[in-house]
Structure 1
Amino acid sequence: MAPVRIAEARVIVCSPDRNFVTLKLTTDDGTVGWGDGTLNGRELAVASYLTDHLSPLLVGREAGRIEDTWQYLYRGAYWRGGPVGMTALGAVDTALWDIKAKRAGVPLYELLGGRSRDGIRVYGHATGATIPDTVADTRRLMEAGFSAIRIQTDTPGTQGAYGVSVPGQVYDPSAGGHLPQETVWHTPSYLRHTPTLFEAVREELGWELDLLHDVHHRLSPREAAQLGRSVERFNPFWLEDPTPAEDQTAYRYIRAQTTAPLATGEVLNSIWGVQTLITERLVDYVRATVVHAGGVTHLRRIFDLAHLYGVRTGSHGATDLSPVSLAAALHLDLAIPNFGIQEYMAHTALTDRVFPHGYRFADGYLHPADEPGLGVHLDEDLAAHHPYERAYLPVARLRDGTVHDW
């Protein structure tokens, strides 16, 4: 194929029920590539970085030189890394892979080595204000075909628990308004309550179901070890983000104190950010994402490193990422040898109309589209009817008012 060059780079910010940043790259032969640049609660920072800094560098570049473009944008920035820069780079990289696969006439996974499996096992989210509510929601997801489910519930003694949805609504912690919602956290109550959640789900629904739980960075290493030991007997699939992920060496202590499987990495955005976690085998699953870890190119490097050390993947896939990002993740999930599991929260019907896609869910598995490229698009006319709306993630405080990890 003759090389093509990028003729136009356009950034689209829309809010079909929540905010998304999308990069559209168009080549001089008319091929369009899509990339997700959404950074929850900081969307406009990425949009500006893409529009003001990266787009002028992209127009005129050869679209097929993906690795060279990645290095050019990463190393050339000097002030490299960080969530804003890596998310913007992830959008560019994903769009370039979309273009390359479309021009080759194959689904993206074919360019990544082809299928390593027939489908991508996913886990769903069960929530509830009470433990019986979460048990009922877990049962609903089992009946829908999920064999792995993340369980979260409100904790007595706290206000505004993470991961608990309003009945009948899709969970979305982002809140519109001028200031973030403030919640109240109490660690002792949580440490007492969470084992009873696992116990209730096991008693009601049995032991064939894989159970996951997200701590959301809220515990110290000692507290995380205490939680791990208290739920070991319920055979959790993993405990996610038991302590702030930036402190990689803290996982040495947790690892030495509990056999509960550990997962982290959604807030880490480079191979150097997860290097210690992987090479010392401090986690069982790495949760880095296509969009926040620099795109398909860089995330593949992270997953290849993880493979060398027996660490499996479990990429973040909540609705704070657009269908463009989920589609890209599925192609990578399908190709790599050390795939573990993929998070999956269905987007709203409106979001699916704005981002028509070919991936599909069946019997606990997702299957990527078989059309060339990512298999996802953006309806620009419909997106224009849903402009950006300011929204922030919550802020947590302890009972005495001290700011805590949310």
Structure 2
Amino acid sequence: MRISSARVIVTCPGRNFVTLKIETDEGLTGVGDATLNGRELAVAAYLNEHVLPALIGRDPARIEDTWQYLYRGAYWRRGPVTMSAIAAVDTALWDIKGKVAGLPVYQLLGGRSRDGVTVYGHANGATVPELLESVAGFVARGYRAVRIQAAVPASEISDTYGVSAAPIYEPASSAIPAEAVWSTPAYLHHIPSVFAAVRAEFGPALRLLHDVHHRLTPIEAARLGRALEPYALTWLEDPVPAELQDGFRLIRQHTTTPIAVGEVFNSIWDCEQLIREQLIDYVRATVVHAGGLTHLRRIFDLAALHHVRTGSHGATDLSPVSMSAALHLDLAIPNFGLQEYMAHAPETDAVFPHGYRYEGGYLHPSEEPGLGVDIDEDEAARYPYRAASLPVARLEDGTMHNW
């Protein structure tokens, strides 16, 4: 069997997605996600210009060799564009391998380690009462874990990460990045009272999470982690930018609140120190941005040796292709923690028919051979690409800050 064709499909059913579809000379197809939020066309060009010509004629069964060929052979290694392109190829080849074997991909990864994949939802509100209502909705639907994001009632802040009036939170909007204003003191003052209200309303059993989105310094994050200890968070996500990884050591010295990080990581080398020195508790790297199932499994295996669990990114900037792939890996690995899950828009679900399902706090991958997901190219053609960029943030004095 040989790869006979491969094509990149860019579509925008509510938001932009980049999908790779590989076909073999025996009629089998596989799909992979190559979406890089706000930089989608960069990955599409990388695939079209540099990767697809090299795939034709290759044996689709040689997944590891193809991964190494695209990684080592590029010379300019790593980076989100390169690794998202490699991920798309790798994921599509795993899809094909499952179809050849007649098995869902999780069976090829060692079979089930659990009955279902525990997911967390996103609760938010412009006010604390609105937030509590949002949390109640997730609890009513059976969620066992909820991420808590609340607007800060201060005139200094024009936008708080993760808070939206829209049913589906989608931060990428205008072609030119929107600008928001941020105040760390106002945020640090407000957030502990938010968690106090949630715990008072829902008790100790509900697992609570919070995303800082890289907006603090290490000592500020340590202060927040200490303030949140009475509310027993499952994790505090992305408290600081991860470029200076020694900063996580400082956080560790001051708080026992668990730390999660990694949605912007694209290789094992981004998180090797954090994992090896046990400076984090959950690694959030994902299939599409970390080189596909092949490389993400390596990251998770390293994490398992150091008591670090998984918490893969799963926002709507990942297509159902990535979500399906993540679920197969989540089901198989021994050190699974939580899986982020944001339901896609109906238009997205129509473009990407899939077999995974939510039930009582768990997601279950498809039992079909392969990943159990596809792309309807006729439906995809109805939604042309629309330029959209992620926002940026500034402090009150106009200084650029981490969004």
TM-score above 0.5, yes or no = yes
Q: Where does 1:249-288 land on structure 2 (aligned, <5 Å)?
A: 249-288=246-285
Structure 1 residue 207: deviation in Å? 1.1
CA displacement 1:50-103 (0-9 Å, x = unmatched): 111000111111100000000000000000100000000000000000000011
Question: SS at 1:149's partner residue?
Answer: strand
Q: Distance in 2 between matches of 1:288 and 1:294?
A: 10
Counterpart secondary structure, 1:274: helix
Match of 1:79 in 2: 76
State the shift of 1:156 in Å.
2.3
The percent of aligned pairs where both chains have the same amino acid is: 65
- The one of 107, 112, 118 aligned to 2:109: 112
Would you say 1:364 and 2:361 are equivalent positions? yes
Alpha-carbon distance in structure 1 between the residues aligned to 2:322 and 2:246 = 30
Letter in 2 for 1:229: R
Which of 337, 349, 354 in structure 2 is aligned with 1:352?
Answer: 349
Name the counterpart of 2:305: 308
Give secondary structure in 1 for the equivalent of 2:171: coil
Partner of 1:228: 225
Q: What CA distance in whole angstroms lies between the structure 2 residues aligned with 1:184 and 1:59?
A: 48
Distance 1:191 1:65 in 2: 50
Q: Distance in 2 between matches of 1:230 and 1:60?
A: 58
Look up the match of 1:175: 173
Aligned pair count reads 401
Q: Which residue of 1 aligns with 2:24?
A: 27
| d(CA) in 2 for partners of 1:59, 1:282 | 43
Separation in 1 of the partners of 2:205 and 2:302?
A: 31
Cα distance per residue 1:140-189 (max 9 Å; x no partner): 1000110100000111231111101115x211101133x11100000000
Q: Following the alignment from structure 1 to structure 2, what is the Cα–Cα distance between the partners of residues 131 and 56?
A: 53
- C-alpha RMSD of the superposition: 0.6
8 A contact 1:86–1:294 mirrored in 2: yes
Per-residue CA distance 1:221-266 (angstroms, 9 max, x = gap): 0000000000001000100000002221110000111000000011
Match of 1:163 in 2: 162
Question: Any stretches of 5+ residues in structure 2 without a counterpart?
Answer: none
Separation in 2, partners of 1:398, 1:249: 24
Counterpart check, 1:184 vs 2:181: yes
TM score, norm. by length of structure 2? 0.99
Residue in structure 2 matching 1:127, options 124, 128, 131: 124
Mapped to 2, the partners of 1:183 and 1:294 lie a distance apart of: 31
Please say if residues 176 and 389 of structure 1, whose CA atoms lie closer than 8 Å, have aligned partners that are also in contact: no
TM-score (norm 1): 0.98
CA distance in 2, matches of 1:59, 1:277: 38
CA distance in 1 between partners of 2:245 and 2:92 (Å): 31
2:127 aligned with 1:144: no
Distance (Å, rounded) in 2 between the aligned partners of 1:300 and 1:31: 25
Q: Is the 8 A contact 1:245 1:267 kept in 2?
A: no
Query: Aligned partner of 1:80: which letter?
Result: R
Deviation digits for residues 290-340 of structure 1 (CA, Å, limit 9, x no counterpart): 000000000000000000011000000000100000000000000000000
CA shift, 1:206, in A, is 1.1
Specify every segment of 5 or more residues in structure 1 that has no aligned partner in the other structure, as ranges: none
Structure 1: 4+ residue segments shifted above 6 A: none
